[in-house]
Structure 1
């Protein structure tokens, strides 16, 4: 399938390779910064006639069907819009958008254009998340009562909008939804920016979500001055027949299932991939476009991941529990 890669920064160059690993035939590369575009294309071996500064020109001149988008967060919505208006299906780095109005607009544009928008939520494809999902869904710890998830890193993010929630927590929110196979119904949260933070937007979040008879609590900090967690965070999933604990990637930590009665403790096997998780999420997107089906991380699904962030903001601002359908783009989305 012919496609174009949009964005040629450090991670954008990685996406050039991931797209090819996923099976995409890259026929064009786009970046607004001509110097960056030429330098990156020279490094990647992209010929001059496949270099573009505008998405519309790339789509028209290459005849591409799909696109990958890896640009700064604030440019995601505009790039998705240009892709849809140019007749391209696209997969975009998270977050898909930065605000509720843009989310509603992109969902409407995707429906109107009859083109798919997927989001690169690769955390749900990592071996630990897949292993936890399979263990939970197969009933190995019974009915899930609680998920407790703790994340702490020192990662000041300048003027980024909702840096913790939109740049990091969306990964964990999406993984929780994937593990449970359900969407949350309500949220009670408090978000803030501590006095020592060098950024101007909220970098800390305490949030509780209701998933039917299961509760998830997320504790996140993007300006942690103390011990740092791995980027995957630290997990404990408690069921009525046992628990699963995962202390995060980068530390050779096992995924451990424990039961109290009868006493039992075992490591859950995790299967490594032959390609990166980003290539896997891109592969699923390309296969869905080919088959005319819905990708696992389609915009209509990812809206609920973003909705967890937007609901947390609304709850914090109003100091009350909010329901997910108070996020306008989510109202009636599953109907």
Structure 2
């Protein structure tokens, strides 16, 4: 049996800043599933906010951000679903001592992330970052097997994404100097950290593609260095335009006693997706390894978003000291991302020549 996700004893009202696609497709469906009440929503485009309010029975559409701040219930959780460039300015307006869930990434670079961290400390915010893959049902199942000792010591994490991503769905990305690692592979960097802690260092190369030349990098290789006995590799290619036959999207965990392979169907044939899959194997003496499948209820979208918000609510009510996804922890995911970009810019070790 996989233990259920820990939910708060109390569910304070949520006010949402931003009404983009991620709010429509993930935040609001997740909150409905969890019975988390949404008190109101604001977006610079009033029609988008009103559309979501109608679709999800949200009682209040605020005319402006100051109106949302002024009229939000005193115990509200602020769900800040905005581009990274808007986070700092928005946090400055949030009442001191408030609880808030901040859309990833935690700023556009490590400098902004540090400013966000210092501001959250100064304002004593109960602040979490929406690195929700940590709480996807399949990840929780894998973590349970690991915590039960069934997989042994975790020695290998491999994440391989070879898909065709329709980047045009996120038009703001076309103006940014950083794309793939900051907005996609960051999920996997954070996930690896959630299992193995902070790495000793990062090796990375992130590249563009001629068919997506308007974007910054859209393919990445990232090695997270955990010493001589643990391997952690992230490989992403968003440009596989050759049909579903050889698309793949998986997370593989290998321990000394067993292994898990999770298929992330959401990313294949996006946004329609294909079914997820959860396979695992546990070694038994004098027996050939037998892979088995486990039925997992729920998927990355929208179910993982329940866990990200639940952590903030649990901390706000005092059931835990800090959210698992607190700004105090997630700053290190941003540090890893910054190191990856630095490694990519520095390049590899030159090979000898002149033979």
Aligned length: 317
* Superposition pairs of residues 258-297 of structure 1, within 5 angstroms: 259=283, 262=286, 263-267=288-292, 269=294, 271-272=296-297, 276-291=303-318, 293-297=321-325
Q: Which secondary structure state, in structure 1, belongs to the residue aligned with residue 133 of structure 2? A: helix
- The answer to whether the 8 Å contact 1:33/1:53 transfers is no
Q: Report the aligned-residue RMSD.
A: 3.1
Q: Distance in 2 between matches of 1:229 and 1:161?
A: 32
Alpha-carbon distance change, 160 to 117 in structure 1, aligned in 2, over 3 angstroms: same
Q: Which residue of 2 aligns with 1:257?
A: 281
- The answer to whether the 8 Å contact 1:153/1:229 transfers is no
Q: Which residue of 2 aligns with 1:188?
A: 203
- The answer to whether the 8 Å contact 1:32/1:54 transfers is yes
Q: Which residue of 2 aligns with 1:168?
A: 184
Deviation at 1:21, TM superposition (A): 4.8
* CA deviation profile, 1:51-98 (whole Å, cap 9, x unmatched): 324333312223443211223444344333433x56532102222322
Q: Which residue of 2 aligns with 1:211?
A: 226
Q: Distance in 2 between matches of 1:230 and 1:114?
A: 48
Deviation at 1:24, TM superposition (A): 4.3
Alpha-carbon distance change, 259 to 43 in structure 1, aligned in 2, over 3 angstroms: closer
Q: Which residue of 2 aligns with 1:79?
A: 90
Segments of structure 1 that go 5 or more residues without pairing to the other structure are 322-335
Q: Which residue of 2 aligns with 1:301?
A: 329
Q: Distance in 1 between matches of 2:255 and 2:133?
A: 22
Deviation at 1:305, TM superposition (A): 2.3
- The answer to whether the 8 Å contact 1:19/1:68 transfers is no
- The answer to whether the 8 Å contact 2:99/2:313 transfers is no
Deviation at 1:112, TM superposition (A): 0.7
- The answer to whether the 8 Å contact 1:163/1:201 transfers is yes
| 1:313 lines up with 2:313 in the alignment | no
Q: Distance in 1 between matches of 2:340 and 2:325?
A: 21
Deviation at 1:101, TM superposition (A): 1.3
* CA deviation profile, 1:184-224 (whole Å, cap 9, x unmatched): 22111111112332333011111111234422011111222
Alpha-carbon distance change, 41 to 268 in structure 1, aligned in 2, over 3 angstroms: closer
Segments of structure 2 that go 5 or more residues without pairing to the other structure are 1-11, 168-173, 266-273, 350-355
* Superposition pairs of residues 1-335 of structure 1, within 5 angstroms: 1-14=12-25, 15-19=27-31, 21-22=33-34, 24-47=36-59, 50-64=60-74, 65-83=76-94, 87-157=97-167, 158-180=174-196, 182-212=197-227, 213-226=229-242, 233-249=249-265, 250-257=274-281, 259=283, 262=286, 263-267=288-292, 269=294, 271-272=296-297, 276-291=303-318, 293-319=321-347
TM-score (norm 1): 0.81
- The answer to whether the 8 Å contact 1:146/1:216 transfers is yes
Alpha-carbon distance change, 166 to 229 in structure 1, aligned in 2, over 3 angstroms: farther
Alpha-carbon distance change, 40 to 230 in structure 1, aligned in 2, over 3 angstroms: farther
Q: Distance in 2 between matches of 1:17 and 1:264?
A: 39
Q: Distance in 1 between matches of 2:148 and 2:177?
A: 38
